[in-house]
Structure 1
Amino acid sequence: MTDQPAVTPDRPHDLVGIGIGPFNLSLAALAHGVPAAPGHPHPLAATFYEQNPAFHWHPGLLIDGATLQVPFLADLVTLADPASPWTFLNYLRAHDRLYPFYFAERFHIERTEYDAYCRWVSRQLPGLHFGHQVDAIRWNTDRHLFEVDFTQLDPAGEAEALGRAYTRHIALGVGTEPFVPEPLRPLTDAGGLPVIHSADYLHHRQELLDAGHITVIGSGQSGAEIFLDLLRTRPHGAEKIHWLARTPAFAPMEYSKLGLEHFTPDYTRYFHALPEAVRDTLVPGQWQLHKGIDADTIAAIHDELYRRTLHGTWPDATLTPGVTVRTAGRIAGRLSGTRIELHLSHTQQATRTRLTTDAVVLATGYRERPLDTLLAGLAPRIRRDASGRPRIDEAFRLDLDPTVTGHIYVQNAERHTHGVGAPDLGLAAWRSATILNDLTGTTPYPLPQRTAFTTFGLAPRPAPRVPGQGAARSPQDEYR
């Protein structure tokens, strides 16, 4: 962490980033050394605050062998600036590992390596302040600046000092938080039971392995990886694992080359231009683009299950899609202590049953972290859509009252306006570059005009030509 500079209304920051996950780390890396404005002799004055004591990316899910679902080129900077010192390849070079990586021929790197790469960047970039919790944001109408109040935390997470920063613009990158469906909240609220979210899996792995029977809930990549990891460590013939999912199948992620074009700037722009009601109908139907399971993981699960049939018995592992958990609670076991009872219903069969288990892993995904508390001081100035969500323009700026002359940019809080690519690492560098180009009023990062072979919409039909003005229309014009 760098020393906190003296920041006053007379010497404000150009940009304050709140949260240091991969997306704001990407923004910080690309902002490093960028001029603040056209002809400005000094680089952009940017600082970033994060309440955690250091950078860590999903530490509870860094399972051995688990890989990113995007190529290594989807690092913090490469797709906007492949010559940046903060590329993944430069990280390998700095650690004398370029040749081993070259011969490994890996397009998808392990999550642990991506985490190590991001930590390497975070330790070298100036202006990153870990152990700083942002408490409030306000607009100072006299100074035409944002005020950012924060609490500096000690290593134990206790308040150590209070501070305030002034800035022309803000970038919110507070990330997502684990989601627990309503029927399962009684289990997590009660405590004292081995019911954990997948985000904390590795922190409780041994406790889960010691359980007699384990149930994994959730059909996405995390649920699949956790099921596979548990399966590999359970004894043959006595695995005692259930894997339940709401989806009608344990479906592979859409990973065809044209399907992946939904994660391009072209599709993002197309999606943003659609009416709000249309956007809202699209996102739920696109779950397989980002909530399916990697085909290699599905194959590995099937291979492991098949190996366990070689001696003539089937594994004690039950995989059931199309299941909804209606309610959940605790019951007293006959021969053991408290157990967990799940009340299930099957969507297609319209049947119900109960499942008793000793431990539950909730691979139920994440939700965007609410911004209302952090932005409470700006609430009257934020314009919202018909569903009460913040409006976000094409440049990733909150739609604010015109009296607020500064911008608040958002990262991974705009799925409702920008589509399924919002949380995708492959769009991180492009979004960061878009923000910096807009913020500086220049193009420090020239961006491609076209990124997909797919044309996602029809071009508007030209206005009819008025007789006597220009060429006459032909019948074919009706179809152009």
Structure 2
Amino acid sequence: MSKDIYDVIGIGIGPFNLGLAALLDEVPDVKSLFLEKKSEFNWHPGMLIDGTTLQVPFFADLVSMADVRSKYSFLNYLQEHNRLYHFYFLEKFHIPRKEYNHYCRWVSEQLEQCRFGMEVERVVPSGLGDGSQGYEITVWNDALHTAERFYTRRLVMGIGSVPAVPRHFSAHLGNSVFHSSQYLEKKEISKGARSVTVIGSGQSAAEVFLDVAKEQESHGFTLHWYTRSKGFFPMEYSKLGLEYFSPDYTDFFYSLSQEMKDSLLRDQALLYKGISAETIADIYDYLYERSIGSDYPPISMQAMTEITGIETSGSSYELRGDHLVKEESFTQETDIVILGTGYKTAIPSFLSDMKEELVCDEAGRFKITKDYRLETYLDGDNEIFIQNGEMHTHGVGAPDLGLGAHRNAVIINQLAGREVYPVRTKNVFQTFGVEKRSPVGI
């Protein structure tokens, strides 16, 4: 029996692979399939807090930065939902996070090549029966409760990142100690607490803190916010600072040694780990209103502080902390701990049988080519592309929604063997490396 062979299969349907599927919908000679273990598209549902917005302009939708004419653009979504005038009068570049999620769901529902409830369990190299090499993918079909096999020439991994939980909190995870990615799911538990603690310094921690603070007004618990960072600082959002999230900076960064890349990333935290200035202003304005008449709420915010341990204390917890500047230790009792500690890249379990075929660096990270292919020991053109797993090789723009369409254009041009979507080479005003100039008079 002949195999049904795809040109590419995408594993995971987050915004990046969904954008790839949408752009490939206009490329009929590339046969694609996208698989996602969740039953439907839902982007960070635990953080769809009322009033929160994307931190990038709406142009960072699934397709526009590669093809503004696409029917899957955000503007076309607005037109199809009779919201163009609403958006026109809104006069905001940063759209509600809930609307971005609804837009992505709208796109996913139109793409037949996107299949949900399909969990990839195993990927192995395989002959395809036509003399070429590719991959056999074993998938659990949740609706049919059965395993299926698919065959493809190439893969695109768009599985995203996983919550980063400090080791000393791992054993305590549950209803009372949880990551911010589960916040809305477990928000009600916090209302009955005597004390709630938020840990972390980024946007998620700030949004959770503000939402919990508003609940604190009605329910009376004490609220603490700790971060190791030197302060509750804003993310870099100046116009020239934003140029670091460009194909130009990605090219510059990729040309550096790995040692220099790692050094730069350590110094660039506020390019991608800070808090939006708008959220900081919202927090300050809220606390100001709460303190009118010198009626200060039982809320504390403490930077320069690392929570180094946690122990069960009856029905609550005792946190151990260190002030990193004063070098003083302290303890804090709390009922609820919310970890706004970010996300990390993880090697997916479905690649377990292929570990020996993948090239990694000294830190155990994938080695990745400039055009987003994993380096492997395999022969042939059966590439594995990666989405949002290449910060260590390509820089701070890897998880940025605004670069997703550009990366997909690079990948699609390789899949198709021709330029389907133009990849521009000059997108910013500044020069990141040494600008090469021709001698005067030549």
TM-score under structure 2 length normalisation: 0.95
Contact 1:51/1:133 (<8 A) preserved: yes
Contact 1:231/1:239 (<8 A) preserved: no
Contact 1:15/1:45 (<8 A) preserved: yes
User: 1:461 Cα deviation (Å)?
Assistant: 9.2
User: 1:459 Cα deviation (Å)?
Assistant: 4.4
Which has the larger displacement, 235-244 or 125-134? 235-244
Aligned to 2:377: 401
Aligned to 2:170: 185
Contact 2:191/2:219 (<8 A) preserved: no
**Cα–Cα, structure 1 residues 404 and 388, in superposed 2: closer, same or farther, change >3 Å?**
farther
Q: Secondary structure at the match of 1:100?
A: helix
CA distance in 1, matches of 2:148, 2:385: 22
CA distance in 2, matches of 1:220, 1:259: 18
Please tell me whether residue 153 in structure 1 is matched to residue 142 in structure 2: yes
Please tell me whether residue 205 in structure 1 is matched to residue 187 in structure 2: yes
Q: Deviations over 1:276-323 (max 9, x none)?
A: 111111112111111100001101111111111212222211000011
Q: Secondary structure at the match of 2:294?
A: coil
Aligned to 2:66: 80
User: 1:204 Cα deviation (Å)?
Assistant: 0.9
For 1:454, the aligned partner's letter is Q
CA distance in 1, matches of 2:218, 2:295: 9
Q: What does residue range 43-62 of structure 1 map to in structure 2 within 5 Å?
A: 43-62=29-48
How large is the Cα RMSD of the aligned pairs?
A: 1.8
Q: Deviations over 1:197-217 (max 9, x none)?
A: 100000111111221111000
Q: Deviations over 1:21-43 (max 9, x none)?
A: 001000000011214xxxxxxx2
Q: What does residue range 384-395 of structure 1 map to in structure 2 within 5 Å?
A: 384-395=360-371
User: 1:236 Cα deviation (Å)?
Assistant: 7.5
User: 1:184 Cα deviation (Å)?
Assistant: 1.7
Q: Secondary structure at the match of 1:13?
A: strand
Partner residue of 2:149 out of 155, 164, 169: 164
Aligned to 1:368: 345
**Cα–Cα, structure 1 residues 206 and 402, in superposed 2: closer, same or farther, change >3 Å?**
closer
Partner residue of 1:224 out of 206, 214, 237: 206
Structure 1 runs (4+) deviating above 3 angstroms are 236-239, 459-462
CA distance in 2, matches of 1:116, 1:59: 11
Please tell me whether residue 252 in structure 1 is matched to residue 234 in structure 2: yes
Contact 2:209/2:225 (<8 A) preserved: yes
CA distance in 2, matches of 1:244, 1:402: 47
Partner residue of 2:215 out of 222, 233, 241: 233
User: 1:137 Cα deviation (Å)?
Assistant: 1.1
Contact 1:253/1:292 (<8 A) preserved: yes
User: 1:13 Cα deviation (Å)?
Assistant: 0.4
Please tell me whether residue 429 in structure 1 is matched to residue 388 in structure 2: no
Q: What does residue range 340-359 of structure 1 map to in structure 2 within 5 Å?
A: 340-359=317-336
Unaligned runs of 5+ in 1: 1-6, 36-42, 333-337, 463-473
Please tell me whether residue 27 in structure 1 is matched to residue 20 in structure 2: yes
Contact 1:33/1:44 (<8 A) preserved: no
Contact 1:149/1:164 (<8 A) preserved: yes
Aligned-pair identity (%): 42
CA distance in 2, matches of 1:363, 1:322: 16
Q: Deviations over 1:137-192 (max 9, x none)?
A: 111246412111111013xxxx711111111110000111111101222321xx4x
Contact 1:20/1:50 (<8 A) preserved: yes
Which has the larger displacement, 344-353 or 135-144? 135-144
TM-score under structure 1 length normalisation: 0.88
Contact 1:23/1:173 (<8 A) preserved: yes
Partner residue of 2:311 out of 325, 329, 346: 329
Q: Secondary structure at the match of 1:398?
A: coil
Aligned to 1:418: 394
CA distance in 2, matches of 1:108, 1:8: 49
CA distance in 2, matches of 1:19, 1:186: 28
**Cα–Cα, structure 1 residues 8 and 459, in superposed 2: closer, same or farther, change >3 Å?**
farther
Contact 2:154/2:384 (<8 A) preserved: yes
